[in-house]
Structure 1
Amino acid sequence: MAHESDLFSGRPSELVGRQVAGYRIEGELGRGGMAVVYRARDLRLDRTVALKLLAPELARNDTFRRRFTHESRVAAAIDHPHIVPIFEAGETDGVLYIAMRYVEGSDLRHLLDRQGPLPLPTAVRIAAQVASALDAAHEHGLVHRDVKPGNILVARGTDSDHPEHVYLTDFGLTKKSLSLTGFTTVGQFVGTLDYVAPEQISGKPVDARCDVYGFACVVHECLTGHPPFRRDDDMALLWAHQYDDPPPPSASRPGLPAGIDAVFARALAKTPEARHDTCLAFVAELRAAGRDDRARRHPLTEPAGRPVPRNGPRPPPRWAQPVVGRYP
């Protein structure tokens, strides 16, 4: 239908002001091969939302429509502070749509393009929030399969201790759904090649550890400014994910803690069984490597004959201790 094609492929200026399923489009936020995301106004509740419109050909596939409905409901049921809430999912004029919370801010892709590699504490702080979102999704039986900087939204935090609030998005359209419907062909991969796990490439069954791999690729880019593998063409990149050893981050950014390389070697293992079981376990090892490095660089000093206690409060300095017997 001409109308459904217009909703997906129309120029932003043509769609501004149009109403789609109770939402008035205000502007385009982003565009990909299978979906366009708009800023829109919820006319029923008078609030701003992010409205994703899927390509019309997806709605014409019964298998995809059923899986889209099921997985959108599962994603909408996850109440987590670092997952973008889904308000509604449905179909209008032959086009599937998802209405989500509109997050004021940018995404990690733009942040890295603007700032380059992040300080280790910042990278770990952001990673911890993404990891908690991914693990929560895994507990609900969802595997994201496309963890990448563009799907990580970064909003302003609450205070100096929490300078950013991070959201994970793009759960309503899983890459498994696309592959099952025949929208992928031999030699074409649905996903983002810089962050794809070896088992996804080979077509093997995937679980949460697939996201551990993709997530580790993203964190690697946060620390070094680039994903683990860089090749001249897509086939070489797919080969590297499957067969080449991941380069240690310290090779690209000297000065990173010594233990970081081993953490990434495990998270980017070729077989899922050799990786961390959860994304938070990966972040915990990163954080521990940073602590160990700080302890090595700044060891505790102990005055002669007076050991520094490892636990509990320190004794007051000599000048603050009472002098016994000086006053009556």
Structure 2
Amino acid sequence: MEVGADGFPVELGAGAMAITYRARDTVLNSTVALKVINRSMAQNPGARSRFLREARAAANIHHPNVARVTYYGEQDGECFYAMELVEGETLEARVRRDGPMPLALALEVIEQAARALAVAEVCGVVHRDIKPSNLMLESDASETLMVKVIDYGVAKVMGPQAEPGAEQTQAGFIGTPAFASPEQFAGNGQLPIDTRSDIYSLGVTLWYLLTGRTPFVGRTMEEIRARQTGELPLEQLKGLHLPGQVVTLLKSMLAPDPKDRPQTARELLSAVHRCYQRFNPEARSRRRRVVLAGAASTLVIAAVALGPWLYQRTRSFTPIERSIAVLPFENRSSDKENAYFVDGIQ
């Protein structure tokens, strides 16, 4: 692990289960993020099993928008795994520093996150804790926006990818209340948790990026759950002058009933992409240039096609100028002396 100026390991983040440090892979000579399970929890077989499932879930998802896992190991009673180090900041940190995001930027972020959900869905993985602090904005020299989904600590593995007999959930509530779906509040497997739950959490994240706050708040989990079943607080959006299409997108993602949301991550991705293409100023400018170029091409083609016809029409209406041609004279009289008239007139 890398050591800071204070002599202690450089800590990147900490959760209830593990701490993530900045470290160096001495074999590959690269900087990584090293997640180490708490030593006390490492003694719990269930916790160790869950930690391993997290590593496997992230390792099976290969996509630019997901921080990849490169190594898992156990040593001296500790469990750890190394993953891609994302240089940048979380969406939560960005909003807290700069305030709500412009619409086009927020849609671009959500589109990239939806791509990560789509590939996770194919791998049979539900994140269950999508929120701004688990979405990183990577910074590089090219200044190209890149979103990375991190922390699969409470991920659920579904379908054939799940281990037979493995405990796929922990007792009680799983996730972060302000960003959790209504079905996550039900608990104890009362309602199925699938990709539509992550879609709901991503909808709350979009709301947060646009407003700087979550739509439902409460002092207790029960208060938040009760407010989720009511109407969306659309008054929070009034000052933003959001297009109707974006409001409709938010309503669909935040529908209390999973069957009223986009049913797959790919369906969500299509809806977000349409909004982004329509309301991104650069995309609008490109479309305008394409339309103008198309109109100019049409005019040129029309001019080429109609040119000969217009020319003929113009000629048909031009007045005819009449003239008289005087031919050379010839002396046809019997008087030869008149011949000089012919020579003079010519």
Whether 2:260 is the aligned partner of 1:274: answer: yes
Deviates more, 1:91-100 or 1:122-131: 91-100
Equivalent position SS for 2:259:
helix
Structure 1 residues 235, 175: closer, same or farther in 2, change over 3 A?
farther
Contact 1:224 1:249 in 2 (8 A): no
Q: Does 1:155 align with 2:141?
A: no
Counterpart for residue 178 of structure 2: 194
Please give the TM-score of this superposition, normalised by the length of structure 2.
Answer: 0.72
* Secondary structure of the structure 2 residue equivalent to 1:79: coil
1:117 and 2:117 aligned: no
Structure 2 match to 1:146 = 129
Total equivalences in the alignment: 287
Moved more, 145-154 or 230-239: 230-239
Matched, 1:219 2:203: no
Tell me if structure 1 keeps the 8 A contact 2:72–2:81: yes
- Aligned 8 A contact 2:115 2:269 in 1: no
Query: Structure 1 67/254 Cα, relative in aligned 2: closer, same or farther at 3 Å?
Result: closer
Would you tell me which structure has more helix in proportion to its own residues? 2
Query: In the TM superposition, what whole-angstrom CA distance separates every residue of 1:84-137 from its partner, at most 9, and x where no partner exists?
Result: 010112222222212111111111110111111111110111111111011111
SS at match of 1:259: helix
Structure 2 vs 1, CA of residues 290 and 103 (structure 1 numbering), >3 Å: closer, same or farther? closer
1:165 aligned to 2:152? Answer: no
CA RMSD in angstroms, aligned pairs only: 3.5
Where structure 2 has 5 or more consecutive residues not aligned to the other structure, the ranges are 158-165, 285-289, 312-346
In structure 1, C-alpha distance between the alignment counterparts of 2:291 and 2:87, rounded to whole Å: 44
3-state SS of 1:266 partner: helix
Give distance in 2, aligned partners of 1:317 and 1:137.
46
Measure how far apart 1:220 and its partner are. Answer: 0.9
Distance 1:275 1:182, change over 3 A: closer
Local SS of the residue matching 1:131: helix
Q: Is the Cα–Cα contact under 8 Å of residues 63 and 181 in structure 1 kept in the other structure?
A: no
| Deviation digits for residues 24-79 of structure 1 (CA, Å, limit 9, x no counterpart) | xx411112222211111112222111111122343223234334334422421321
| Alignment of structure 1 residues 1-328 onto 2, 5 Å | 16=8, 26-156=9-139, 159=142, 163-171=144-152, 173-174=153-154, 180=167, 184=171, 189-203=173-187, 204-241=191-228, 243-248=229-234, 251-289=237-275, 313-316=294-297
Q: Which of the pair has more CA radius of gyration? A: 2
Q: How far apart, CA to CA, are the structure 2 residues paired with 1:267 and 1:168?
A: 19
For 1:27 and 1:292, the matched residues in 2 are separated by 43
Q: Distance in 1 between matches of 2:250 and 2:292?
A: 31
Distance in 2 of aligned mates of 1:292 and 1:154: 23
Residue 27 to residue 182, structure 1, CA distance change in 2 (3 Å)? same
Change (3 A) 1:128 1:294: closer
Contact 2:25 2:32 in 1 (8 A): yes
**Partner SS, residue 96 of structure 2:** helix
Letter in 1 for 2:70: F
Q: Is the 8 A contact 1:103 1:155 kept in 2?
A: yes
TM-score by length of 1: 0.75
Query: Retained in 2: the 8 A contact 1:146–1:191?
Result: yes
Task: Give distance in 1, aligned partners of 2:155 and 2:212.
Answer: 26
CA distance in 2, matches of 1:213, 1:123: 16
